[in-house]
Homo-oligomer: A and B are copies of this chain.
Amino acid sequence: MSEPMEEIAPPPRLLMGPGPIGVDPRVLRAMAAPLVGQFDPFMTATMNEVMGLYREVFDTDNEQTFLIDGTSRAGIEAALVSLIEPGDRVLVPVFGRFGHLLTEIAQRCGADVHTIEVPWGEVFTPEAVEAAVERLRPKLVAIVQGDTSTTMCQPLADIGRICRDHDALLYVDATASIGGNTFEADAWNIDIATAGLQKCLGGPPGSAPITISPRAVDLIAGRGRVEAGIRDVNDDEDEGFRTGTRIASNYFDLAMVMDYWGPRRLNHHTEATSMLYAARECARLLHAEGVDHAVARHALHGTAMLEGVLGLGLAVFGDVAHKMHNVVAVEIPDKLGPAGGDAVRASLLDDFGIEIGTSFGPLHGKVWRIGTMGFNARKDAVLTTLAALEHALRAAGVAVPAGGGVTAAQAVYA
């Protein structure tokens, strides 16, 4: 490599896919703030602030609420590898791609994993989950709240009650839904929930907020050890309260991560300062807006987008009564097929600078996913996307009513 290179200069994009979405400019600015040292009083105070802010995001009193330094799937793995001991029975209700992901991560943790499934586009009834829990008696139930692959949002209050009644732990991946849909970690009896910044929280991918209930903390702390290179004479590898098998990962060892974020401040990884600033700003903005208001905003703009695509004569995939507020799956018209669907997406990107997505597995090439989330849950973003989509569809030979999308969305706003 010998030529000089220019500084990064991304093309302007309106990101209306399933995420990541355009980041709030205030979050971008926060990442440009200078660093302080890892144990600077300002750093530890900021970490404590972030813990408090994410308690509000997750609606919890859990002391152990912090960030995993990695993308949202790092949060999932940290939760599962720290909870699951080899041979533990785990139940995963699967209603989309991310149920499959939970299954395979749990399998890699050595769990005895059992799944139940509903067709993509549906969610589970409490009865279906309860029957499986009674039959299998799992130590852990692992489920996503919103499976972005199908846009469905699983109601969790009953599932939390069922798990508590049967003494099962409950893990929830709230990456795709949190901030845009109601989430109540404590009221729903959730033991660990994890998330990401890049959806309704309006931040970049790369940091995974997590919250851990006291009973999950007890289980995990029993599996902890102090790292050899920082252990001192007062630490005893054989402390009597160490009861569980050692966690298979160092990076995702939540016992260690808790000791880093907690008052002992035992060095583990080096906290990703710029992403900490980003996570703080995402939650600060949510706090300033009010969580309930943010959820209502996502509901409003999600409804406008839904009515807009219907107004263009398109069909919506799945059980709309249970879709997340912040994303809609639109069936690609038969006459286009997967290649035509990709051509429409390419036209939106190349001609209008607007990104929408497709989906995974059985829905790849069958649906477009259009998001209205975070900073982009805005009227101008919704109307612009619908106007551009109308043109792209017509150019691809699909008959669409002139102005049908924008008009239908505006009726929602009126």
Contacts and interface: CB of A to CB of B under 8 A. Distances in A.
A198 interface: yes
Contacts of A37: 13, 15, 17, 20, 349, 355, 357
A360 interface: yes
A73 B247 CA distance: 16
- Which applies to chain A's interface (DSSP): helix, strand, loop or mixed? loop
A66 interface: no
Nearest to A17: B37
A267 interface: yes
Contacts of A81: 249
Contact of A13 (B21, B40, B70): B40
A35 B23 contact: yes
Contacts of A52: 1
The oligomer's copy count stands at 2
B70 A70 contact: yes
B250 A101 contact: yes
Interface residues of A, number: 97
19 contacts: A4-B287, A8-B33, A10-B33, A28-B32, A28-B34, A35-B204, A70-B70, A71-B269, A71-B272, A100-B228, A103-B228, A104-B250, A205-B273, A206-B206, A229-B361, A231-B361, A251-B252, A267-B360, A272-B275
A9 to B, nearest CB: 7
A104 B71 contact: no
A12 B389 CA distance: 48
Interface string A93-109: 00011111101110011
A22 B34 CA distance: 7
Contacts of A215: none
Nearest to A6: B284
A394 interface: no
Nearest to A267: B360
A303 interface: no
A116 B268 CA distance: 23
A38 interface: yes
